[in-house]
Amino acid sequence: MKSYLYLTVILSLGNLLNSQIIFDKSFENRVVKWRHEIHQNPELSNREFKTAKKIESHLRALGIDVQINVAHTGVVGIIKGKYPGKVLALRADMDALPVTENNSLPYRSRVVSSFGGQKTGVMHACGHDAHVAILMGAAEYLTKNNNFSGTIKLIFQPAEEGPPPGEKGGARLMIEEGVLDNPKVDAIFGLHINSATPVGVIRYKPKGFMAAAQRFVINVKGKPAHGSQPWKSVDPILISAKIIDGLQSIISRNSELTKEGAVISIGSIHSGIRFNIIPESAQMVGTIRTLDKDMKKLIIERMNELIPQIAMAYGGTASVDITESAALTYNDPELTRFAVSSLKKALGEKQVVEVNAVTLAEDFSAFQEKIPGFYFYLGGLIQGNKSENAPSHHTPEFMIDDAGLIYGVKAMVNLSFDYLN
């Protein structure tokens, strides 16, 4: 009984101290430096070789048990507490985007690669460099202060933006390869830096937070002709324009938008090669975003009905292929209540804010389909900027404030101590 009481007192004191965690400036500077180094050396999905090596070296230097080459380039680390207990996973995504950086940052990316057969710049245009640096920082602190019960599994995940065509990757492949087993994970936390959220602020939503996403490819077949004689053609570009217009009618006329939001967007159109030739075919690639399962089902049904019929009305044919990208990011209600309480204790009552759902998607949702998970936004708004003017994610101008990183480390560390103790 005495030893049990002693342990209880120790853990209670640990919880009290955890809410008072303060990082020295040298530690914060190292986290920022890691982020800058990763930002200057971005790598596309399933090709995060240098990033993985940097993570591996850091974890091994801390004495952490490391597993590499998980889902191609993923890295997994195990931190054991001083006492037995639950298993908690902390996740950070690693991959960059085929975007050419356009800003004045001294550490901006100048990396060039190819994507989809096209030459492109490569940029951390969504903040995954920050996520990696934050989890590296959390790993260092938790390893040196392992006065907790249980185990922490660090998951550095490749290909959150989606693997290249013809390849598997991302959270689903990590799960297939057993990342949530040996030891079996009880819960998982993840974060996303957000360029429009003030530094020091965390935003979240219970239950459905981020949209389910599907990728679709539409292939349109027509009849070619000289551009001066369109009456001899079946114009796939005209048909494509009519299909795009028809897709928006699914949102505006078939979707009950007072229930939840929904989006259909075309991100790529390819057709033709010369100004005076009406081509034979066209291809469009786009995304569907939904926050409700019934609306998702309706939209997919209507797309399969509408697209071939529109093409037929103009004398052509069209097919659509829809594939799953990410499920609904669903924050477990009970785990959310716990996490919000922990975060408010760590960062302040007014710094943790509930918000509406967003139509962005996140493959962290694959973990949440298997175990309880909590995902939240971390403030990264550049000082002096207004949220409405913040550079969007996935754009060449994207930037975040390094001051937000240490709040991410503090959030992950506090969530870990509170959950395991």
Taking the model in full, what pTM does it have? 0.87
372: phi then psi, degrees, rounded to nearest 5: -60, 135
Class of domain 212-326: alpha beta
Q: Per-residue b/e over 159-195, b at no fewer than 16 CB within 10 Å?
A: bbbbbeeeeebbbbbbbebebbeeeebbbbbbbbbbb
Task: Residue 207: count other Cβ atoms within 10 Å of its Cβ.
Answer: 13
- Residue % of the chain over a pLDDT of 90: 93
Cα separations in angstroms, 116 against 44, 164, 282, 337: 12, 8, 16, 43
Question: Helix 2-18 crosses helix 405-420 at what angle (to 10 degrees)?
Answer: 160
What mean pLDDT do residues 146-158 have? 97
DSSP designation for 253: I
Per residue in 322-339, pLDDT tens?
999 899 999 999 999 999
Q: Is residue 223 pLDDT above 60, yes or no? A: yes
pLDDT in tens, 196-206: 999 999 999 99
Please list the residues that pair with 156 across neighbouring strands.
75, 92
**pLDDT score of 20:** 65
Candidates 3.30.230.10, 1.50.10.10, 3.40.50.300, 3.40.630.10; CATH matching 2-199+380-420: 3.40.630.10
Chain-wide mean pLDDT for the chain? Answer: 94
* Average pLDDT of the residues in 83-112: 97
**Measuring CA to CA, which residue among 160, 122, 136, 157 is closest to residue 35?**
136
Mean pLDDT, range 299-311, rounded to an integer: 98
Distance CA 238, CA 231 (A): 12
Domain boundaries, the chain: 2-199+380-420, 212-326
How much is the average pLDDT of 233-254?
Answer: 98
Tell me: pLDDT of 10 over 60.
no
